């Protein structure tokens, strides 16, 4: 049976709030695939009480026992006890709990292609402080756990799609972490993802230069000439519709947006500010190039509003809907 597993992420954040609120909306039953939340029962009940949400919790002995979604009911499976359920207060002791939920979901999705994974926001710093010293983020962790050669983070809304050549690394490390071979694989992965997951027959991709004005013919950096454009040339020979490196400062004007299915940015903050300015709260994060379905929300843990009932459901609703579409 098809199922969506929800790994809520950081316990101190709004990931728990969101699923509790969503379970009390009409939208909950519109998702025809059962949703199973991976969470500690005491955390769920404490947060529901804090939010003054009345909900019927159904504890599953096996995720395969999940039934259809009903308003006011939340099916959950407990893997590990949460050390500290307090909203808004980070506790490194919760790191193992977060990773255990995530690992269980990855393993279950690997074993059964009818299982999709939706993830809530995590606090990377808290996971690192909790002993996972090499942790960089969901995308990198899932790539490692699934033994994938390439994992590409693509954020998508109705207005814009953006894939990242590098993810959660310092800006000074970006140029050292792009290569012609790596970019060829990323471009191919994005092209395939747009065709397979978004049903675009002949997607048009624009790739951003690393330097201002896309290097201006090598006068403001030469990564475009040495790395990006040679990778593009290889992919164009394969029939992929992708531009040569273009300047990021004009890449998102109205004409470009109307004629682009997805952009590939060289680093995290090169394009995501534009995406979030246009579509924050309506965007999903989908991982391409891995053997499982994984969708995430487009926002962080929002510790300042956790447990206060003001978190917006838009991104989680979109993530659940996209997971349902991909599981059909």
Segments making up each domain of the chain, as ranges: 1-148+290-328, 152-279
Strands 152-156 and 161-164: antiparallel
| Percent of residues in the chain assigned helix, strand, coil, to nearest 5 | 40, 15, 40
Q: How many residues does the chain have?
A: 328
CB 95 within 8 A of CB 63: no
CATH number (3.40.50.150, 3.30.2310.20, 3.40.718.10, 3.10.20.30) of 152-279 reads 3.40.718.10
Buried-state track 27-42, b at ≥16 Cβ within 10 A, e below 16:
bbeebebbbbbbbbee
Cα separation, 196 vs 201, in Å, equals 9
pLDDT tens series, the chain, 328 aa: 899 999 999 999 999 999 999 999 999 999 999 999 999 999 999 999 999 999 999 999 999 999 999 999 999 999 999 999 999 999 999 999 999 999 999 999 999 999 999 999 999 999 999 999 999 989 999 999 999 999 999 999 989 999 999 998 899 999 999 999 999 999 999 999 999 999 999 999 999 999 999 989 989 999 999 999 999 999 999 999 999 999 999 999 999 999 999 999 999 999 999 999 998 888 999 999 999 999 999 899 999 999 999 999 999 999 999 999 999 8
Point out which residues pair with 262 in neighbouring strands.
Answer: 205
Residue with tokens 């994938």: 148
Residue with tokens 């709260």: 281
Nearest-Å Rg of the Cα atoms of the chain is 20
Cα separation, 113 vs 295, in Å, equals 14
Structure tokens at 264: 């590939």
CA distances 142 to 38, 73, 184, 237, 292, Å, are 17, 29, 21, 31, 9
This prediction's pTM: 0.91
Burial of 166 (0-12, 13-18, 19+ CB in 10 A): buried
Sign of the alpha-carbon torsion through 297, 303, 307, 308:
negative
Structure tokens at 328: 């059909």
The CATH code for residues 1-148+290-328 is 3.40.718.10
Q: Do domains 1-148+290-328 and 152-279 have the same CATH topology?
A: yes
Three-state secondary structure call for residue 305: helix
């Amino acid at each position: 049976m098809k199922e969506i597993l929800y790994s809520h992420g950081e316990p101190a954040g709004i990931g728990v709030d969101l699923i509790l609120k969503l379970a009390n909306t009409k939208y909950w039953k519109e998702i025809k695939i059962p949703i199973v939340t991976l969470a500690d029962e005491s955390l769920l009940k404490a947060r529901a009480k804090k939010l003054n949400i009345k909900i019927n919790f159904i504890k599953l002995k096996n995720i395969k026992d999940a039934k259809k979604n009903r308003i006011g009911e939340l099916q959950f499976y407990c893997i590990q006890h949460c050390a500290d359920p307090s909203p808004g207060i980070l506790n490194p002791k919760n790191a193992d709990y977060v990773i255990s939920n995530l690992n269980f979901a990855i393993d279950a999705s690997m074993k059964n292609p009818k299982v999709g994974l939706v993830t809530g926001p995590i606090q990377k710093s808290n996971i690192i402080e909790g002993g996972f010293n090499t942790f960089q983020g969901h995308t990198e962790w899932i790539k490692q756990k699934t033994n994938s050669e390439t994992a590409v983070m693509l954020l998508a809304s109705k207005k814009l799609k953006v894939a990242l050549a590098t993810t959660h690394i310092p800006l000074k490390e970006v140029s050292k972490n792009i290569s012609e071979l790596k970019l060829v694989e990323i471009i191919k992965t994005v092209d395939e993802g747009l065709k397979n997951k978004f049903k675009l027959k002949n997607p048009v991709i624009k790739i951003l230069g690393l330097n201002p004005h896309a290097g201006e013919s090598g006068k403001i950096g030469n990564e475009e000439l040495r790395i990006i454009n040679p990778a593009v040339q290889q992919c164009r020979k394969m029939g992929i519709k992708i531009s040569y490196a273009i300047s990021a400062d004009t890449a998102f004007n109205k004409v470009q947006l109307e004629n682009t299915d997805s952009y590939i940015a060289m680093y995290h903050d090169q394009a995501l500010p534009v995406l979030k300015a246009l579509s924050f709260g309506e965007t999903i994060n989908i991982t391409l190039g891995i053997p499982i379905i994984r969708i995430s929300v487009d926002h962080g843990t929002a510790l300042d509003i956790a447990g206060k009932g003001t978190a917006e459901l838009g991104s989680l609703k979109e993530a659940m809907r996209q997971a349902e579409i991909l599981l059909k």
